[in-house]
Structure 1
């Protein structure tokens, strides 16, 4: 049976968008799964490659840095040169780098491979959301994005379980080789089912000065956030990086107002819904990733669970996101994103406040209710948030809009972990001063610095004091995160526009190669600009 016959038999104009959604979800599953399985494999990687602690840290940081920094650029390149093309390039780069990592013989090659994976993910991630937005009309977009968000949550949920099983029973390399068949399926389905789409309103020229300024500014900012607690917030390196970030991002903002075809049109942010969705994206990632990161440390370092056991105990949150995400997407098509996002953030704040009452011997049963509340809240937020952002801009700009939203989430999550770590170290130092006055000040400072990474070391009375200080600081940090989530709820209620998407078919119903048009989302943007 020839490829054209297969396409004719299985892919029709009526079901093409659903095949497209399946391809995007396949690729998204691969990226999100990789985010969680690598953490489980780090001890095995250290043993096999003789990797240093710094090398292990950069196994994570190299991916985070290249991914976060290039998201907006990847989205804009998709708008200019074809979203399907950039998506396929990203999938191939991600798959090839996964194979490269699997065959790595040193930590240097491992870190290089992870950085390349981040580049592939940055090309792929914005394209998934922008392709979905072009394939589905506004009144069905929430349902599609809800499925997209549910698949993301599914990957996050099963990542530690799959990773733990493969590392224990096969090898750490197998978690990377697993990406190859997934990438192959995503490529084949995309080639068969997905139409190309691009921004036909802009010249196909890359804003090189803007790309350079944004890359330098974001790289400096993300690196500063990643290393701030290790190097010290007041250290010369961190201050220097923050200055470079400020200069780079300021230069980017100035440059974008002076070029004919800017990489990011700042008029997007005059639309209240787009601005509100990005604020919520930053806040929800700030709260969620900080919670997951430090609760994982609590479950392992204080309660004594293994990484796999700790991952399994987060399932009440992640499983609920899997089911609530698609439901919230469908509801967003009916009642609009605003009430769902607001309610979700209120529930998230309640969950964080609930969690802010931990003790050394807190039973897991106490946390189950908080995890359920967190999963329900996140499920109500994620797909309506993405729907609100994508419906607020012209479909022709969907790629860069998706990149900006993804960047807001990545930077918010990185900032949340860094800020929570600094807060825990600072509050913990105060508590250690009270509990261990007999210990030299330098030693107390070392213990406090370790709290930001979840360390609860020491012996005897010192160990008990460190655990108490960690919990004292963690509980206060979780309550602060609850306040931040409530601020996000207020922002969602005040900024996200009321109402539901129009049922008017988008310009994607025009010839397949264009698939861009304006539609009601463009009208909303024009109204916001005016």
Structure 2
């Protein structure tokens, strides 16, 4: 290969990474950007909060239902083709959301958006892993790991700024020009795949069992703080959902061409890294959900101040993650991943000291520590997980990796809200949130918040223990 051709190939792979990063950022950003906009949407469309929350929940549920299916299809239909289709689907959903005049129209738009996001998220890591050599995979996946975390964690900050300046519709319209430009760039940038003819049948029965089971399971968890753990609806829903998922597992392990290849979890590195990532995202979303409420309801910060403070986490992560990815290519993932989760556990323990008179810069320092810990963990873990699977299964592995991330987001949101609500009502001595006010309200809020952060610290410690099970690098 000539020097010019080599330079052109080197330049092109970084353009592929840039295009994939843009799609990943857009998809993950919309998973959390609507948090800040919910009050405005509720007021504009005249709907209560328990209904408007489905603007978020429908999005996450749809992604969780579709990601494994996307991973399966990408290995046969082509990762680039499905990724490009994801851009167009996401843009169409965004337009639908921006034009919504009712809550139901908005929820339908969010489901369409989520279908596009699943196509983007389910193929992005596999495209990157197949584009870069094993020696560069840690650094490249470190950059995509940064983008994933930036999208998820900057959502509240970016959403607050857009809603304050342009109204709630702007959080959807901003996706349209970005998505269209990325689609047009992808036509030229993304590699043209030569597909082999495959005779593997698609597992429609397994797909149906999975989608109904996972949606039912997450739906019940999203409503448990309303129904209560002892409710017949909660018990029956969980039993039914778990039964469907068990049936799905038994079917997938007994057929020749499963939709979700559980054999990947026989690979120790893949299994350990996936579980550690799940625990990491569960803990991190305790911050994403609870910190804006703490800063606005207790400290009295304006939405703009909250947005700027929340940016401390992703900004530090953006600096650390590429470096940790580069370092993991040289020393392996063990020390970085385990150390990152331990640092996050310490950071959560420090959050249990928060009071009613914290300054913005003090909160930002706390969140910056999470950026350091998560940046240390995310990139090496992604490289470790995807580097452990055969190249032919990268599509399925990438879809499963994105699924784990999404499940962590849903479970973290549900866990933090449920635990906080339970503790708040127990400490207040009433089921009604507004029966106490002033200093008593702030004290009760902080005590309940400390319980959430203490539990998140334990989750991080468990994640560090799991991460350490992948073993130290062999010298």
Same fold, TM-score > 0.5, yes or no? yes
Q: Tell me, yes or no, if structure 1 residue 379 matches structure 2 residue 375.
A: yes
Q: Is the 1:293–1:417 Cα contact (8 Å) retained in structure 2?
A: yes
Equivalent pair of 1:203/1:261 in contact (CA under 8 Å): no
Distance 2:165 2:63 in 1: 30
Q: CA deviation at 1:465?
A: 3.1
TM-score for both structures, normalised by structure 2? 0.93
Assess if the C-alpha contact under 8 Å between 1:100 and 1:113 holds in 2.
yes
Deviation at 1:342, TM superposition (A): 0.6
1:57 partnered with 2:35? no
Relative to 1, partners in 2 of residues 1:408 and 1:211: Cα closer, same or farther, differing over 3 Å? same
Matched, 1:485 2:457: no
Aligned with 1:473 (options 439, 448, 460): 448
The residue that corresponds to 1:99 in the other structure is 95
Q: By how many angstroms is 1:9 displaced?
A: 11
Extract unaligned runs of 5+ from structure 2: none
1:257-268, aligned counterparts within 5 Å?
257-268=253-264
Kindly state the Cα deviation for residue 254 of structure 1 after the two structures are TM-superposed: 0.5
Match of 1:521?
none
CA distances 1:244-289 after superposition (whole Å, capped 9, x unpaired): 2211110111011121111122221111110111111111011100
Spell out the pairing of 1:215-254 with structure 2 (5 A cutoff). Answer: 215-254=211-250
Return closer, same or farther for 1:307/1:228 CA change in 2, 3 Å cut-off. Answer: farther
2:54–2:107 Cα contact (<8 Å) kept: yes
Q: Give the superposition deviation at 1:53.
A: 2.6
Among 10, 26, 41, the alignment partner of 1:14 is: 10
Question: Against the structure 1 CA distance between its residues 217 and 486, is the aligned structure 2 distance closer, same or farther, given a 3 Å change threshold?
Answer: same
Which residue does the alignment assign to 2:42? 46
Q: Does the 8 A contact of 1:198 with 1:396 survive in 2? A: no
Task: Measure how far apart 1:191 and its partner are.
Answer: 1.6
Deviation (angstroms), 1:173: 2.1
Structure 1 window deviating more from structure 2 (481-490 vs 347-356): it is 481-490
Gaps of 5+ in 1: 1-7, 434-443, 451-456, 501-530
Taking a change above 3 Å as real, the CA distance of residues 317 and 162 of structure 1, as seen in their structure-2 partners, is: closer
Q: Would the alpha carbon gap of residues 64 and 428 (structure 1) be closer, same or farther in structure 2, given more than 3 Å must change? A: same
TM-score of the aligned structures, taking structure 1 as reference length: 0.84
Secondary structure of the equivalent of 2:356? Answer: coil
More deviation, 283-292/173-182? 173-182
Which whole-Å CA distance do the structure 1 matches of 2:466 and 2:266 have between them? 15
Counterpart secondary structure, 1:150: helix
Alignment correspondent of 1:164: 160
Which has the larger displacement, 306-315 or 82-91? 306-315
Whole-Å separation in 2 of the counterparts to 1:270 and 1:117:
33
Distance 1:128 1:325, change over 3 A: same
Distance 2:292 2:219 in 1: 23
Report which of the two structures shows the higher radius of gyration computed on alpha carbons. 1
Which of 263, 282, 286 lines up with 1:286 in the alignment? 282
SS across alignment from 1:36: coil
Q: Which residue of the partner structure matches residue 513 of structure 1?
A: none
Change (3 A) 1:175 1:368: closer
Alignment of 1:177 with 2:173, yes or no, is yes
Contact 1:11/1:192 (8 A) holds in 2: no
Aligned residues: 472
Tell me, yes or no, if the aligned pair for 2:309 and 2:363 is still in contact at 8 Å.
Answer: no
For residues 48-447 of structure 1, what are the structure 2 equivalents within 5 Å? Answer: 48-156=44-152, 158-197=154-193, 203-433=199-429, 444=430, 446-447=431-432
Q: 75-84 vs 157-166, which deviates more?
A: 157-166
Contact in 2 for aligned 1:75/1:399 (Cα 8 Å):
yes
Higher deviation after alignment, 404-413 or 150-159: 150-159
Aligned mates of 1:19, 1:426 — CA distance in 2: 48
* Deviation readout 1:419-472 (Å, 9 max, x if unpaired): 233333333344334xxxxxxxxxx1x13xx4xxxxxx3455xx5334322222
Q: Distance in 2 between matches of 1:352 and 1:258?
A: 43
Q: State the partner residue of 1:494.
A: 469
Matched with 1:516 is: none
- The aligned residue for residue 464 of structure 1 is 439
CA distance in structure 2 between the partners assigned to 1:198 and 1:341 by the alignment: 36
